[in-house]
Amino acid sequence: MLTNPAKAGRFFLPERLALLADVTGDLVNVTVDSSPGRLLVDYCREARIGVIVRGVRTPADLEHELPMARANRHLSGLETLFVPTSPAHAYLSSTLVTATTRR
């Protein structure tokens, strides 16, 4: 897990890591890790990761993610696999979840 200084997360980093560890605990090939303050390409290069997976809900998500994927490939050869969300869940967003939890 990396952090984006331009975004204020709903949970602090240790909480986010604990949540991810909890939901992936039964997957033997998954490691939950963090590297605050670093670029994804630097972390992946050091960890020998060649492909990352990004979920996209809308064309706007893809429009935002595609230039980053191209830059990552140019900088380090890191490939990005885009996985579209199920149409049944495409309406979900962190903004919506946050708004509904404040009710």
- Condensed to tens digits (0 to 9), the pLDDT of residues 39-94 reads 899 999 999 999 999 999 989 999 999 999 999 999 999 999 999 999 888 888 77
Q: Is the pLDDT of residue 36 over 70?
A: yes
- Among 52, 51, 55, 53, which Cα is nearest to 84's? 55
Strand, helix or coil for residue 52: strand
Q: What is the pLDDT of residue 38?
A: 86
Q: What is the pLDDT of residue 64?
A: 92
Answer for the pair 32, 1: CB distance below 8 angstroms, yes or no.
yes
Q: Is the pLDDT of residue 97 over 80?
A: no
> Quick one: 44 exposed, middle or buried, by C-beta within 10 A (0-12, 13-18, 19+)?
buried
Q: Is the pLDDT of residue 17 over 90?
A: yes
